[in-house]
Amino acid sequence: MDDGLVDAIALEIARLTKLRDRTNAQIAALTEGEIEPAAYAILFQLIHTGPKRSGALAEALYSDASTVSRQVASLVKRGLIERRADPADGRVSVLDVTDAGRAVAAQIRARRNDSLRQMLRGWTPEELDTFSNQLRRFVDGYEESRQRMLADLAAHKDLQSYYAPAEKNS
């Protein structure tokens, strides 16, 4: 695979990540912290998959338990999600979306989709279909290689040895 193409893809991913981070920070500032965009991923995850324990939710969102706990507390306080006894084990609780949470999620989805339609205006249906499929394929590939990347990094004592050129067997 051509290094130039890989570099171009890496730069665009970094650019998108920075844009999203900056946009989320600006949203939080404009709403005086009322909206933490990352917390809304919890709403959509619970709507998509149904009630979950907090640990399972953190795993599904690729997040750490403390971050999810803080975001859950905020969403519970706002009445967007609730804790209920787990039907499989009443000693623990599951998180579920309230009717108010579903209404907020519907509003967020509508605004998100309007924004995406604006970003993608001028794209043909075929281009949109190709983009959707390629993006899914890319994310699936990233997810599949993630554990290997982390294991490779953990096997090294530091970042310098991780990034050192591999010795060639001659």
The string of pLDDT tens digits covering residues 103-132 is 999 999 999 999 999 999 999 999 999 999
Q: What is the largest CA-CA distance in the chain?
A: 65
pTM beyond cutoff 0.85? no
pLDDT the model gives residue 150 = 87
Q: Please, is 165 exposed, middle or buried when counting C-beta atoms within 10 Å of its C-beta (0-12, 13-18, 19+)?
A: exposed
Question: What CA–CA distance (Å, rounded) separates 43 from 99?
Answer: 11
pLDDT the model gives residue 73 = 93
Q: How many CB atoms lie within 10 A of CB 20?
A: 11
Domain assignment of residue 9, given as a range: 1-35
Question: Residues 150, 129: one domain?
Answer: yes
Q: Which residues of the chain fall below pLDDT 50?
A: 169-170
Question: Residues 58, 85: one domain?
Answer: yes
Question: Residues 43, 113: one domain?
Answer: yes
Total count of domains within the chain: 3
Over its C-alpha atoms, the chain yields an Rg (Å, rounded) of 20
Question: Residues 157, 99: one domain?
Answer: no
Residue identified by tokens 């309007």 is: 114
Question: Residues 164, 108: one domain?
Answer: no
pLDDT the model gives residue 170 = 46
Question: Residues 95, 54: one domain?
Answer: yes
pLDDT the model gives residue 30 = 84
